[in-house]
Amino acid sequence: MGIGNIFRAFQPKDKVFFVLFEQVAQTLVEMSSDFHKGLEDYDLNDDSLLKKMSDYEHKMDDFTHEIFVQLGENFITPFDREDISQLTVALDDIADHIYASAKYMYLYKTNEIKAFSEFSLLIHKSCVEIQTAIQNLKGFKNPAAVRESSIKINSFEKIADDVLSQSLVKLFESNDPIHIIKAKDVLEYLEIVTDKAEDVANIMESIIIKYS
Amino acid sequence: MGIGNIFRAFQPKDKVFFVLFEQVAQTLVEMSSDFHKGLEDYDLNDDSLLKKMSDYEHKMDDFTHEIFVQLGENFITPFDREDISQLTVALDDIADHIYASAKYMYLYKTNEIKAFSEFSLLIHKSCVEIQTAIQNLKGFKNPAAVRESSIKINSFEKIADDVLSQSLVKLFESNDPIHIIKAKDVLEYLEIVTDKAEDVANIMESIIIKYS
Amino acid sequence: MGIGNIFRAFQPKDKVFFVLFEQVAQTLVEMSSDFHKGLEDYDLNDDSLLKKMSDYEHKMDDFTHEIFVQLGENFITPFDREDISQLTVALDDIADHIYASAKYMYLYKTNEIKAFSEFSLLIHKSCVEIQTAIQNLKGFKNPAAVRESSIKINSFEKIADDVLSQSLVKLFESNDPIHIIKAKDVLEYLEIVTDKAEDVANIMESIIIKYS
């Protein structure tokens, strides 16, 4: 069996990870889209958005588990096992923090939907870029495009920083400390989602730098 | 000198790290046990629990320092120097955040002992699992058991997340903003301890994946 | 062309990174010095300190971008690409959090200058040590001195922890929840700067451990 054949024999196993990462990215795109849409006509007393986010979060946990199982079994990986493991954890963190945002929105019955919705749009845009980046990371076919997505995700995080500070300044005008504490918590959870997306972007960039 | 002899000559140095990690794990088990017991009959005006936690925290700093000194001297390490260094910092972070929790409990004179105690039990259980995992990590003798401990630590962190949100909802019923800010701070420090335990679990899992 | 010539041909490219890291360190020293001085006669309604910090933050972003561009182009690097990438991100985080502190100081119009100034001095001292450490990291000429700077930066972080808890206890005496929430936020941002400096110290130490 020539080297080419050996290569082809290993290919399917190698591809397992990209298939899984593509499913993870697709899940994040759907989760963030449903999250953003759910905030349009959000009812503080209806837990259906929270339940939906909880389902997505569990689905992401299952993918994360599957990737770790595959990491334990496959000898051949498309890039270093530590990079796969780091990327997996960072992607899961995005889902965890979208869920946490939805949880505290519901538990605290906070009504700052306009600001929440600005964040959810930035979060959705970041997840769409993550999906694009993962497609371009596959087989390292387009490192420049991965870098481009990463720059966009970083810019969404900067915008989210400004949305946070502007929302907080406005929030303090209410002069209601209990409301401020609650809404500030949710706003900060939302901002962390964009930080986590930035972490994903940084990890993908460092993978590109390492292998390109 | 045959390869076997060379191996044996290096063994003792190699073992230094596991001896130190076992002492670190033992310290965390004792620290978290004393922390949990100390909350049973906690007196807000008595700083003896804080002093005890401070002593443990210093002891952990000494171990951390010793591991870094050994890392600087030993050429042979049981696994990559970066992994040893990361694991050491993550274990030390657990002690730092138990101490921080005890510090703000005392400084703020906050009295939400029931919730605090739910956390300290989860923290202690996590430390016990960390000790088990480190024993099984030794010589990579039982990767499956390390993975099992890691799953347990992750599940304690998920429970801690729920304890936090439930405690916060209850806390807000007090309608006392100053009390809420203080108790929320302590509850969040306690929750971070379980996050740090999860970091330790993730690092141990990635070591297992790398070397097994 | 002999090996020596090949080496010399590559040297200049290799040096690019240290030249950039030295400029980054110099920028952090200047930024933290201007920040500390700016707090001496701070006027809550004057945004000139915030603008100055914003300029430094942009300058740091440009350096960060340049280092990543160089990482993408240069095959030879003085140490692992991941280490360069991690160190770059951690140094940029310091600037980001000094800027965030200045931003919330200005937006919230909070007047706890004495405590802020204690932090800014510790931050400046940490940046000076980072500069010293980077000079000693160059060519791995003085690993012991890097370790020494790292110990100092860690001690500044411990002091900052105490400054935070003491400032918070004093802050709560005001009994004004809105003021407490605002000033606590700024104090915590300032404390995070020293955490980020500690991250830089830890990364430099792990580089030293890896290559010395």
Would you say residue B2 has pLDDT above 50?
no
Higher pLDDT, B14 or B108: B108
Residue-level pLDDT at C11: 46
Backbone angles phi, psi at A116, to 5 degrees: -55, -40
Residue-level pLDDT at B7: 40
d(CA A144, CA A133): 10
Give the residue on C whose Cα is nearest the Cα of A198.
Answer: C89
Chain C residues near residue B81 by CB distance under 8 angstroms? 206, 209-210
Chain A residues near residue C61 by CB distance under 8 angstroms? none
Q: Rounded mean pLDDT of B70-97?
A: 88
C155 touches chain B (CB under 8 A): no
Segment B93-105, tens digit of pLDDT: 999 999 999 999 9
Chain A residues near residue B180 by CB distance under 8 angstroms? 178, 181
d(CA A54, CA A50): 6
pLDDT along chain C (212 residues), means of 10: 41 77 98 97 92 98 91 79 90 97 96 94 98 92 92 96 97 96 98 97 88 72
Residue-level pLDDT at B3: 40
Q: Do B72 and C209 touch (CB under 8 A)?
A: yes
Q: Which of A66, A75, A63, A72 is nearest to B143 (CA)?
A: A72
Q: Which of B97, A55, A206, A128 is nearest to C90 (CA)?
A: A206
Residue-level pLDDT at A3: 40
- Region class of B140: left (phi > 0), else alpha (psi between -120 and 50), else beta: left
ipTM of the complex, rounded to two decimals: 0.87
Contact C201, C150 (CB under 8 A): yes
Segment A36-91, tens digit of pLDDT: 999 998 898 999 999 999 999 999 999 998 998 888 776 788 888 888 988 999 99
d(CA B161, CA B167): 10
Q: How far is B191 from chain A (nearest CA, A)?
A: 14
- Which amino acid, residue B71? L
For residue A182, give the 3-state DSSP assignment.
Answer: helix
Instruction: Give the nearest partner residue to B181 out of C147, C180, C206, using CB atoms.
Output: C180
d(CA B99, CA A141): 49
Contact C120, C109 (CB under 8 A): no
Segment A121-131, tens digit of pLDDT: 999 999 999 99
Residue-level pLDDT at B95: 98
Q: Which of C27, C83, A56 is nearest to B85 (CA)?
A: C83
Q: Which tokens go with C121? A: 């001095």
d(CA C100, CA A168): 13
Residue-level pLDDT at A4: 40
- Which amino acid, residue A29? V
d(CA B154, CA C63): 38
Q: Do B178 and C181 touch (CB under 8 A)?
A: no
Segment B150-182, tens digit of pLDDT: 999 999 999 999 999 999 999 999 999 999 999
- DSSP for A118-161? HHHHHHHHHHHHHHHHHHHHGGG--HHHHHHHHHHHHHHHHHHH
Backbone angles phi, psi at B147, to 5 degrees: -60, -40
Q: Rounded mean pLDDT of B49-58?
A: 97
Instruction: Give the nearest partner residue to A169 out of C72, C107, C177, using CB atoms.
Output: C107
Q: Rounded mean pLDDT of B203-212?
A: 83
Contact C97, C126 (CB under 8 A): no
Residue C140 per-residue DSSP state = G
Contact C165, B107 (CB under 8 A): yes
Contact A209, C68 (CB under 8 A): yes
Contact C201, C153 (CB under 8 A): yes
Q: What percent of chain B has pLDDT over 70?
A: 92
Contact A81, B210 (CB under 8 A): yes
Q: Among A147-151, A201-205, C21-25, C139-143, whose mean pLDDT is lowest?
A: C139-143
The residue among B79, B163, B165, B166 with the most chain A CBs within 10 A of its CB, best to mutate, is: B165
Q: How far is A146 from chain B (nearest CA, A)?
A: 25
Residue-level pLDDT at B71: 85
Distant-in-sequence, close-in-space partners of A55: CB < 8 Å, separation ≥ 6: none
Q: Do C85 and A202 touch (CB under 8 A)?
A: yes
B211 touches chain A (CB under 8 A): no
Q: How far is A210 from chain C (nearest CA, A)?
A: 7
Q: Please, what is the angle between helix B3-40 and helix B48-73, to 10°?
A: 170
Contact A139, A200 (CB under 8 A): no
Residue-level pLDDT at A12: 56
B36 touches chain C (CB under 8 A): no
Instruction: Give the nearest partner residue to B169 out of A71, A107, A178, using CB atoms.
Output: A107
Match 């964040």 to its residue by tokens: A119
Residue-level pLDDT at C2: 40
Burial B136-153 (b: 16+ CB within 10 A, else e): bbbeeebbeebbebbebb
Residue-level pLDDT at B12: 56
Contact A160, A122 (CB under 8 A): yes
d(CA C64, CA A205): 13
Q: Among A2-6, A35-39, B138-142, B170-174, whose mean pLDDT is lowest?
A: A2-6
- Which amino acid, residue B50? L
How many A×C Cβ pairs under 8 Å? 37
Q: Rounded mean pLDDT of A136-161?
A: 93
Chain A residues near residue B175 by CB distance under 8 angstroms? 178
How many B×C Cβ pairs under 8 Å? 37
